[in-house]
Amino acid sequence: MHTHHSAAQPLTEYGLSALALLAGALLALMIHCNSRLAAYGNPLTASWLAHAIGLLTALLLWKALRQTRPHAGRPPRWAYLGGVPGALTVALAAIAVNSPLALSGTLALGMVGQVLFGLLSDRFGLFGMPRRPLRLNDALALPLVLSGCAIVIFGA
């Protein structure tokens, strides 16, 4: 039996990859903007301002893009705590960027933290993620990410 492959499938995968790249670029921009704010005040003030403006932006996007979804039940209680690591990320990154690490070193170490947490989340199914055993490519990718981070921070 012939299986029909949709042309939209690769576009969906490429589109999701493009969104992830855009999110990374926006994260770098956010960290830079917040570090500039922190330089004129302090990291906590920068975090408060960033989150207040982010709240307004999120409310405007929510209002503009609101759609009805079938009621799928309630999220787990811990899901409401997503703002806590977000606020800590903003404050800690603002401190780190205004150090010899600069923006590139802060982002490199942040990426290492994301990869490590992602691998642990996948392996142990943390926070409701599906469990996925670590594979050989995970073991090979981690030293490459760490090496790249070291090159960014310490030079070649």
Residue ranges of domains in the chain: 23-65+81-99, 101-156
Tell me the Cα Rg of the chain: 19
> What's the pLDDT score for residue 4?
44
Percent of the chain with pLDDT over 70: 90
Asked if residues 115 and 141 have their Cβ atoms less than 8 Å apart, the reply is yes
pTM above 0.85, yes or no: no
Asked if residues 27 and 87 have their Cβ atoms less than 8 Å apart, the reply is no
CA distance 50 to 65: 22
* Among 117, 116, 104, residue whose Cα is nearest residue 149: 104
**What pLDDT digit, counting tens, does each position of 23-75 carry?**
989 989 999 998 999 889 888 898 889 989 999 999 999 999 887 666 678 88
Residue 136 has pLDDT above 90, yes or no: yes
For the four alpha carbons of 85, 87, 92 and 94, in that order, the dihedral sign comes to positive
Asked if residues 46 and 34 have their Cβ atoms less than 8 Å apart, the reply is yes
CA distance 104 to 37: 18
